[in-house]
Chain A
Amino acid sequence: MRHTISVLLENEAGALSRVSGLFSARGYNIESLTVAPTEDSSMSRMTIVTRGPDEVIEQITKQLNKLVEVVKLLDLTEGAHIERELIMVKVSVPTANQREEIKRLVDIFRGRIIDVNDANYTIEMTGTGDKLDAFIKGIDPPLIVEVVRSGSLGIARGSKSLRL
Chain B
Amino acid sequence: MNEANKTEMMMGADILVNALVAEGVEHVFGYPGGVVLHIYDAIFKQDKLQHILVRHEQAAVHAADGYARSTGKPGVALVTSGPGATNTITGIATAYMDSAPVVIITGQVATALIGNDAFQEVDAVGISRPCVKHNFLVKDVNDLAITIKKAFHIATTGRPGPVLVDIPKDVTILKAPFEYPDTIEMRSYKPVVMGHPGQIRRAVDMMLSAKRPVIYTGGGAMRGNGPKALTEFTQLLGYPITQTLMGLGSYPATDPLFIGMLGMHGTYEANMAMHECDMLIAIGARFDDRITGDLEKFCPYAKIVHVDIDPASISKNVPVDIPIVGAVDQVLPDMISMIKESEQRPDSDALAAWWGQIDTWRTTNCLEYDRKSKLIKPQFVLEKLYELTQGEAYVTSDVGQHQMFTAQFYKFTRPYQWITSGGLGTMGFGLPAAMGVQFAHPNDTVACITGDASIQMCIQELSTCKQFDLPIKIICLNNGYLGMVRQWQELFYDKRYSHTYVEALPDFVKLADSYGHVGMCIEKPSDVEGALKESLAMKDRLVFMNFITDQEENVYPMVAAGKGHNEMLLSPERELA
Contacts and interface: CB of A to CB of B under 8 A. Distances in A.
A121 to B, nearest CB: 40
Nearest to A42: B187
B187 A62 contact: no
A18 B188 contact: no
22 contacts: A10-B188, A14-B125, A14-B129, A14-B137, A18-B129, A21-B129, A21-B130, A25-B130, A55-B315, A58-B315, A59-B312, A62-B314, A65-B311, A65-B312, A66-B310, A66-B311, A66-B312, A68-B154, A68-B186, A69-B188, A70-B188, A164-B187
Interface string A51-92: 000010011001101101111000000000000000000000
Contact of B189 (A14, A18, A68, A164): A68
B510 interface: no
Interface in A98-145: none
A18 B125 CA distance: 10
B146 to A, nearest CB: 13
A159 interface: no
Contacts of A13: 137
Interface string A12-38: 011001100100010000000000000
Given A68-B133, A68-B188, A69-B188, 17 more contacts: A9-B188, A14-B129, A17-B129, A21-B129, A25-B130, A55-B315, A58-B315, A59-B312, A59-B316, A62-B314, A63-B312, A66-B310, A66-B312, A68-B134, A68-B154, A68-B189, A164-B187
Contacts, number: 37
Contacts of A66: 310-312
A59 B312 CA distance: 6
A41 to B, nearest CB: 15
B115 interface: no
Chain B CB count within 10 A is highest, among A63, A65, A68, for A68
Interface string B169-191: 00000000000000000111100
A9 B310 CA distance: 19
Contacts of B137: 13-14
B103 to A, nearest CB: 14
Contacts of B130: 21, 25
A92 B315 CA distance: 53
Interface string B310-332: 11101110010000000000000
A17 B126 contact: yes
Contacts of A21: 129-130
Contact of A71 (B129, B134, B188, B314): B188
Contacts of A17: 126, 129
B122 to A, nearest CB: 15
B219 to A, nearest CB: 17
The 8 closest A-B pairs by CB, nearest first: A62-B312, A68-B134, A71-B188, A68-B189, A62-B311, A25-B130, A66-B312, A63-B312
